[in-house]
Amino acid sequence: MLYRSLAKPLLFKMDPEQAHHLIIGGLSGMGSIRPVPSGLRVMYGVRETEDLAVDMFGCHFPTPVGLAAGLDKNGQAVMGFSSIGFGFMEVGTVTPLPQPGNDQPRLFRLPPDEALVNRMGFNNLGAEAMAGELARLKERRIPVAVNIGKNKATPNEEAHLDYEKCIRALYDYADLFVVNISSPNTPDLRNLQHGNELKELLAAVMSEMEAQRTKAGGSVKSVLVKIAPDVNDQELEYMVSTIADSGVAGIIATNTTVNRDGLSHQHAKETGGLSGKPLRDRSTEVIRRIYRQTEGKLPIIGSGGIFTSEDAYVKIKAGASLVEIYTALIYEGPEVNRRIHAGLRDLLRKDGYRHISEAVGAEHR
């Protein structure tokens, strides 16, 4: 209620990107002041419960609800976000070299549709800067996934070099990696999802991960691939088959969409990726098809349009083992995590499940 009644009206009067920087700056600053993270956990934290905790990808997730990539692009506010009820978070997308991203304005709210359109273009401070931010963390309460991409100026035939550079710079600081080949805001990036380009890129990524594991010791860290919702059935089947054969640990479904069907706000005409409620059903259908094709053997993180526990539960029953939110945090505030967590527990009990893993893919049985 505090967010909806006080913070949101003020933030929504600001330019969306300015509000974004204010939130990141605030959480970054507060996270470095010793008593503040504890206070945030009292206000917004989610108590770990046995029925919703998940062990996967070599990590322990205290809750199944994470923060999607794009909000904390440089890994500056991990302590803050880990104190407001998330079970994990993605930082990035990060590229080897710093880049400013696309021209402003590049972030737009669509309040009647409860959606956002962004064409940020991987604006970030670069892999070395992120490594410095993550190295300064005194503690890590939740798994941190580093979402990696290529610089805009890098041609697709050299894209693997950028992903390898990100892995080398950040291997010691990431709990797992996410290969982003699905943003609509970097020219030709989505072409990496198709044909031999995807197979060759993932082979290079997995080779570099093994090289870093050998160097660092221990078990290899997991890699996931984030895919777009804007693919036809044949393209999706090929992508999933290639990803499954590559040795990658899982898929995040999905990134933002370029589809604008059914939108009412004037900002619907803006180019870029759409997130929020209009993406919900399509991302769930992609999850459903991936689960069916892989017979549930390739773990899925569901992302796209989750605002309520029911939204999350539908994705879980369609095949997602974990879920992510982003736009809901902007519209609903940090209270959303507690509501989703409590609602998921109620839904599990209603269906007679003792643990969330029993509900994963339930609609297929």
Residue-level pLDDT at 1 = 63
The structural domain count of the chain equals 1
pLDDT class for 4, splitting at 50, 70, 90?
A: confident
Classify strands 65-67 and 144-148 as parallel, antiparallel or unpaired. Answer: unpaired
Specify which residues 223 forms β-bridges with. 177
Which residues are CB-neighbours of 104 under 8 A, at least 6 positions away? 17
Residue 194 has a pLDDT of 84
Question: By C-alpha distance, which of 330, 337, 351 is closest to 70?
Answer: 330
The predicted-structure confidence for 176-201, as pLDDT tens digits, reads as follows: 999 999 999 898 989 888 878 999 99
The pLDDT value given to residue 138: 81
Look at residue 140 in the predicted model and tell me its pLDDT: 87
Give pLDDT, residue 139.
82
Q: What is the pLDDT at residue 223?
A: 98
Q: Are 64 and 52 contacting, i.e. CB atoms less than 8 angstroms apart?
A: yes
At residue 7, the pLDDT reads: 87
Residue 2 has pLDDT above 80, yes or no: no
93 contacts 72 by C-beta, under 8 angstroms:
no
pLDDT of residue 266: 94
Q: What mean pLDDT comes out for the span 330-349? A: 97
Q: What was the pLDDT predicted at 36?
A: 73
pLDDT, tens digit, 9 for 90 and up, residues 197-250: 999 999 999 999 999 999 999 888 999 999 999 999 999 999 999 999 999 999
Residue given tokens 């879980």 in the structure block:
316
Residue 31 has pLDDT above 70, yes or no: no
What is the reported pLDDT for 149? 98
CATH code for the domain of 166: 3.20.20.70
pLDDT tens, position by position, 71-126:
999 999 999 999 999 999 999 999 999 999 999 999 999 999 999 999 999 999 99
Which residue is it, tokens 């021209």?
103
pLDDT tens per residue across span 111-168: 999 999 999 999 999 999 999 999 999 888 999 999 999 999 999 999 999 999 999 9
Catalytic residues: 183
Count of CA atoms in the C-beta half-sphere (13 A) of 15: 7
Residue 27 has pLDDT above 90, yes or no: no
In this predicted structure, the answer to whether residue 3 has a pLDDT above a threshold of 80 is yes
Mean pLDDT for the chain? 95
32 has pLDDT over 70: no
Residue numbers of the domain that contains 103: 2-364
**Cβ atoms within 10 A of the Cβ of 237, count?**
14
What's the pLDDT at 195?
Answer: 78
> What pLDDT is attached to residue 26?
84
**Looking at residue 152, what is its pLDDT?**
96
Q: What pLDDT does 37 receive? A: 80
